[in-house]
Structures are given as C-alpha cells and as structure tokens.
C-alpha cells in the first residue's frame, strides 16, 4: 500500500518511520511512504505558499495554487489515491476510519496544512477531511503520521500476528482487557489466578467481563454503538 504526503516540512517524516513496525514494513516493501515537499510548487522567485487573509485577521493562510499543483503532480503519477486533508474541522479519526482507509487499494495522499489555515477552496480538491482531536497543533504533519501509523498496522503482512489486531482497544465495541506477563507477583500485585489456570473458556469469559467493566468505567460512550467522543 502506498502513502503519499504533501508537506512544507518533509524532513519531519525522516525519523519517525525509520524503526518500529512501520519502518520494518517499509524495508520489506509491504508499504511505501513518499513525502512530497510543497515549497517547490510555491509562486514566484520566493516560492510563496501563503498570503494574508481576505477580510483581515491575524496569521497567514495557505494559498490554493501551490497545494493544487502539488496534488495534481502526485495524482498524475499515482492515479487513484484517496486524497485526505488533515484538518481540525474534519471528522475525528477512529479505528473504523483507519479500517476503511486500509482498504483503499491505490493508497492515500495526505495533505498537511500550516499557518492560520488553508484557502477554503482547497477542500473541493480532496475526498475526505480528518482531525485527530480537539486541540491545536502547529500543522498537519503529526496528525498525518498518526493516520499513517494506524492505517499501516491494518495492512496485511505488517503485523506478524494478525489475530492480535482483533483484540485491541477500539477494534471491537469497547476497550481491551487487562494484560499480564511475568513475574507472577510484582510489588504485591499478583497475576489473576484464572489466567494461570489453563482453562481457555474461563480465560475468555474473564477477559470479556474485564473488557466490558473497563469500558464502562473509562469509556462508556463506546458501548451501544456510540461514536467515540472527541478529545
């Protein structure tokens, strides 16, 4: 699967994906990551990509022409990419959205904005807008990385044991059950006896009950088909 990113700061993507699961998947060519610098598509001798907002106000707004030219450049060479604008006004990212994006056969093109915002007309050039929460960041680069990480994990072959994906938080309706490993006792806290019983049916029942209890305590909004709250 291919991931493409349009950004003013391509160097931000060099380090985060050198290691870990995504880095290994890139080395194995299960996924591809292509980062496209926006600045070369800027206007004039100074490669301008922003300007003052119409109507006044603080900050600068990203002009539509450089972004449109960059999108056209990428799409001409990689037709069929699903175009995503990382935007605080977009729908809040979730596991369900990640699953949908992972099923896009041609791959994804993520556009990272900067400054005060982008010209409204850019929204007509994309297929989807995504936010990762109700808080302010300096740009869309970190949100784009979050989307890439979450989606890449769902691409077949990226995770060694695909069965583990089905048990993670948000993969189903609710949070994941508590996990334990060695030692059997740590600072007075013991591993529940049922997990050491070898009775797989009882273990499954315990995990289901604990997962539901944890969800009720921490994220009751996830039960009953409710969408995850923003934040």
Q: Do 118 and 8 lie in a common domain? A: yes
Report how far residue 179's alpha carbon sits from residue 192's, in angstroms, rounded to the nearest whole number: 10
Last-in-domain residue among 152, 179, 202: 152
231 is a domain residue:
no
Beta-carbon contacts of 221 under 8 Å, excluding residues fewer than 6 positions away, are 227, 228, 229
CATH number of the domain enclosing 127: 3.40.1280.10
* Separation between Cα atoms, residue 171 and residue 164, nearest integer Å: 10
Give the whole-angstrom CA distance, residue 30 versus residue 9: 25
pLDDT tens for residues 76-120? 999 999 999 999 999 999 999 999 999 999 999 999 999 889 999
Domain that residue 216 falls in: 168-225
Condensed to tens digits (0 to 9), the pLDDT of residues 128-180 reads: 999 999 998 999 999 999 999 999 999 999 997 766 666 665 566 789 999 99
> What are the φ/ψ torsions at residue 230 (nearest 5 degrees)?
-80, 145
CATH number of the domain encompassing residue 185: 1.10.1270.20
Same domain for 102 and 177, yes or no, is no
Let me know whether 139 and 174 are in one domain: no
What predicted TM-score, i.e. pTM, was given to this entire model?
Answer: 0.87
User: Same domain for 142 and 214?
Assistant: no
Distance CA 144, CA 91 (A): 14
């Amino acid at each position: 699967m291919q991931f493409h990113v349009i950004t003013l700061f391509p160097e931000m993507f060099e380090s985060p994906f050198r290691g870990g699961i995504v880095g290994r998947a890139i080395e194995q060519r299960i996924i591809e990551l292509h980062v496209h610098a926006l600045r070369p598509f800027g206007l004039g001798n100074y490669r301008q990509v922003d300007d003052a907002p119409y109507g006044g106000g603080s900050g600068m707004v990203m002009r539509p022409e450089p972004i449109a030219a960059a999108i056209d450049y990428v799409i001409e060479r990689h037709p069929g990419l699903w175009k995503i604008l990382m935007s605080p006004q977009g729908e809040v990212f979730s596991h369900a959205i990640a699953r949908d994006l992972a099923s896009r056969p041609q791959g994804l093109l993520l556009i990272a904005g900067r400054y005060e915002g982008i010209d409204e007309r850019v929204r007509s050039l994309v297929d989807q807008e995504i936010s990762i929460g109700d808080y302010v960041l300096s740009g869309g680069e970190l949100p784009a990385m979050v989307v890439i990480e979450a989606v890449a994990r769902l691409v077949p072959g990226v995770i060694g044991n695909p069965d583990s994906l089905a048990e993670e938080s948000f993969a189903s309706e609710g949070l994941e059950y508590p996990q334990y490993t060695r030692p059997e006792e740590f600072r007075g806290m013991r591993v529940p006896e049922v997990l050491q019983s070898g009775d797989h049916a009882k273990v499954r029942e315990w995990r289901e009950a604990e997962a539901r209890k944890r969800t009720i305590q921490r994220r009751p909004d996830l039960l009953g088909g409710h969408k995850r709250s923003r934040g």
